[in-house]
Structure 1
Amino acid sequence: MANNAFGIDLGTSKICIYNHEKKRVFVERNMIAIENKKNVIAYGDSAYEMFEKAPDNIVVSMPLNNGVISDINNMQDLLRLFISEITKGNYKNSDYVMSIPHDVTDVERRAFGELIEDSSMKAHSVSVVEKSIACAIGLNIDVKSSQGVMIVDVGYNTTEISILSFGGIVKSKLVKIGGNKFDDIIKATVRKEYNLHIGSKSAEALKMQIADLKRSGEKGVVYGRNVASGLPVECMVDPIVLENCLRESFLQITDNVKELLESTPPEIGANIYKQGIYITGGGSLVSNLCQNVANGTGLKVNTSDSAENSVIFGLAEIIRNNKKYKNLTFEV
C-alpha cells in the first residue's frame, strides 16, 4: 500500500482520518457550514462552533445520518477539504481504506466508495472494511482467531452490537440508540425538571460531566432559556437526575446485547463468557453505561481509554499491515 495511504472512519458526529505518511490521526467534527446554499464558509470543528448560533442564511449540517451518507455532495466536499488540509494538496494517487457499518445495503456500500471516486482526489484504490472488525483490531483483538468476541460500539445515532469469529461477523444488530439520543433525553429532562430550555451542545457537555460531578459531589452549571419567562438564566443541575434519565436507554442497549447472546452458538458464547464484552465508541464514555451492561448480563465488560478512536486505530493497523489483513478488506 502506498505511503500516502489514508484510513477514514466516517462517524455521524466526527470524522477520523489516519495519514500513513505522517503516522498521525486527525479528528474533527463531521459538519459543514454553507452560506446562501452555495458557499462553504466553515467545516469540521469550525462549523461546529457555528452550530445552533448561525443566522438563517447559513446552514450547518451533518452529511451523515445513522451511519450512512445522507448528503453525498457535502460529504465529498468535507473529505476533499480535510485531506487537502492534511496533505497541503498533495493527495493524488493515494490509497483509501474506509470503515462501513455491517447492515448497509449494496447501494449504500458503493456510496462510500463513490465519495472518493467521484471527487477530484483521483484515488489509486478505495477499499472498505466492516466497522466492527476495524474496531476489534484497534482494540488489539486477534480477529482471525477462532475465539468468539462481542463488540458493542456506541456511536452518535446508533449502537452496533457484533459477534466476530475467524475474521468475520457471525451475528450483528443495529440499535437506534446512541449519544445523540442521550443528549435529547437530557434536554427533555432539564426542561421538565428545571423549567429550562438548553441546546444540544449544552446537553452534550452535561452528559460528559456526569461522572466527574458525582465524584466531586458538585452540581453541573448550565445556561439556557427559562421556559416561563423566555429569558436567559443559569441553572445548577443534579448529576443523579441526569444519570437516572438515561437509565432506560442503557437498559435497551443491555436487552439487545442479551438478545444477541441468547442466539449465539454455544461455543462462541463460552468464549464471550471467558473474555467478556468489549464496549467502545464515544457513547460508551457516558457515566454508568458500561456498569449497567455488566450488571444486566453478569459478564465482564472491557473498556478502552481511547474508545472514540478504536475504529481509526484499527484502520491504521490494517494499512500498516496490509498483507496480514488483505482478506478483510474489499475494493469498491
Structure 2
Amino acid sequence: MSNTIFGIDLGTNNIKIFNQSDKKILNEKNVIAIINKNQLFAYGDAAYEMHEKAPGNILVTFPVHFGVIADYKNMQILLIEFLKKASKTKLKNAEFIIAVPTDITEVEKKAFHDIVKSCGIKCKDVLIAEKPVADAIGIGLDIKSATGTLVVDMGADTTEISVLSLGGIVLSQLIHLGGNKLDESVISYIKKTHGIDIGKKTACALKETIGSAIKLDEPETMVAYGRDIVTGLPIEITIDSDLVYEAIKENLNSIVNNIKIILERTPPELSADIINHGVYLTGGGSLIKNIDVLLEQELKIKVNTCETPSESVVKGLMQMATDSKYRPLAYTMKVKIYN
C-alpha cells in the first residue's frame, strides 16, 4: 500500500481532498478563473470571490455540472493545482480514490478516473468508489452488515437517494435538484414579488442565513442588495425567512416525494431496518435550517444528521483506501467488483 493516499470528492460547488499523510481535508470552491481565454488567473476560493464580479476578459467557471465533469480541460488544471496545495510531498507513486455518483454512465465515471491519470503525476493507482457507499462509511455506518440503510446526499446540483445493504447499493436515484436550484428559486421569487434582481451569491446567503425548510414561528430577516428591474438602479431590501421559505418549499417537497418513491420500492425487510435506524442526511444542501424536521414530518421516520455533512464522502474514501474491511468496495475501471 502506498504511503501517500488521496481521497477526492469532485463536487459541483466544492472540491474535497483528503491527504492521508497529514490527515487534513482541503475543502475549497471548485471554481477556476481564466484570463485572456487560456491563462490561469485564480482558482478555488479566490476564483469564487470573482464570480459575478469579473470583467469580460476573465472567465469564471465551474467545471462540474450535475455531478459529472462538464469541462475536462479546466477540471484537469484545477485538480493539479489543488493536489499541489493539498500535499507538501511528491505526488509520484501516490494512490488515489475518487468518488463518483452511482446513477451516471460508465463513460462519465471513466472521466473521473482519467482526469487523475492524465494529470502527469505517474500515480500508483486510481480507484473508483460509489459516492453513496463512501458517504455511509464517512458518517460511521457499517454498511458491510445485512442492515438496510437509506442515505440522502443533498448536493449543489443533485440529490442522490440510496438504499444500501451488505456493502452494495440496492436502490439509487440521482435527481437534478440541489442547492443551486434553491438559489435560482429565491432569485426568481424575489424578482416576481418585489421586482428586484439579486445575484446568485446573495440568494445563497439568504438561503443559508435565514432560509428554513419549515415556516418559522418568529420570522428572521436579512438585508440584501440588488437591482430594481424597473429603474435599473441599485437598491437595498430587507428579506424575511417566510419569503425564502415560500421560494424553496416546492423544490424541497420534490426531494421529499423522490425519497418516498425510493421507500415505496424498497424491499420490506430493508424497510424495517430503515424504520428502526432512520434516514441519514448528508451533503452541503442538508445544512438548510430544519430540513431534518421537514423530512421527519413528511416521512414519519427519524432523520439523522452529521456535523460536517459536506465532508462525509471524502472521509469515507479515506477509510476505504486504508481499511482492509472496506478496501474491496473500491474498484478500478478495468475490473469492476460487483457485490
Deviation per CA, 1:219-249: give whole Å up to 9, x if none: 1111111111111111100111111221111
Give the SS at the match of 2:7: strand
Matches within 5 A, 1:138-153: 138-153=138-153
Matches within 5 A, 1:286-301: 286-301=288-303
Give the aligned partner of residue 65 of structure 1. Answer: 65
Distance 1:217 1:293, change over 3 A: closer
Normalising by structure 1, we get a TM-score of: 0.96
Shift of 1:305: 1.6
User: Are the equivalent residues in 2 in contact too, given 1:116–1:122 (CA < 8 A)?
Assistant: no
Give the aligned partner of residue 311 of structure 2. Answer: 309
Give the aligned partner of residue 328 of structure 1. Answer: 329
Give the Cα–Cα distance (whole angstroms) in 1 for the partners of residues 59 and 105 of structure 2.
29
Shift of 1:287: 2.2
The root-mean-square deviation of aligned C-alpha atoms, in Å, is 1.5
User: Are the equivalent residues in 2 in contact too, given 1:133–1:167 (CA < 8 A)?
Assistant: yes
Deviation per CA, 1:148-186: give whole Å up to 9, x if none: 000000001110000000000000011111000000000
Give the aligned partner of residue 168 of structure 2. Answer: 168
Shift of 1:320: 3.0
Q: Confirm whether residue 119 of structure 1 aligns to residue 119 of structure 2.
A: yes
Give the aligned partner of residue 249 of structure 1. Answer: 251
Give the Cα–Cα distance (whole angstroms) in 2 for the partners of residues 152 and 77 of structure 1.
31
User: Are the equivalent residues in 2 in contact too, given 1:156–1:178 (CA < 8 A)?
Assistant: yes
Give the SS at the match of 1:324: coil
Give the SS at the match of 2:325: helix
Give the aligned partner of residue 50 of structure 1. Answer: 50
Structure 2 runs not aligned, ≥5 long: 334-339
Matches within 5 A, 1:21-32: 21-32=21-32
Give the Cα–Cα distance (whole angstroms) in 1 for the partners of residues 8 and 112 of structure 2.
10
Distance 1:215 1:61, change over 3 A: farther
Shift of 1:192: 1.6
User: Are the equivalent residues in 1 in contact too, given 2:219–2:242 (CA < 8 A)?
Assistant: no
Distance 1:268 1:231, change over 3 A: same
Shift of 1:194: 2.1
Give the aligned partner of residue 95 of structure 2. Answer: 95
Deviation per CA, 1:91-147: give whole Å up to 9, x if none: 111000001000121111111111011121111100010000000001100010000
Matches within 5 A, 1:129-278: 129-210=129-210, 217-278=219-280
Shift of 1:211: 5.4
Compare 279-288 and 153-162 and name the one that shifted more. 279-288
User: Are the equivalent residues in 2 in contact too, given 1:7–1:18 (CA < 8 A)?
Assistant: yes
Give the Cα–Cα distance (whole angstroms) in 1 for the partners of residues 120 and 138 of structure 2.
30
Give the Cα–Cα distance (whole angstroms) in 2 for the partners of residues 239 and 193 of structure 1.
14
Deviation per CA, 1:54-74: give whole Å up to 9, x if none: 111111101111000111111
Tell me the amino acid that sits aligned with residue 20 of structure 1.
Q
Shift of 1:290: 2.3
Number of residue pairs matched by the alignment: 331
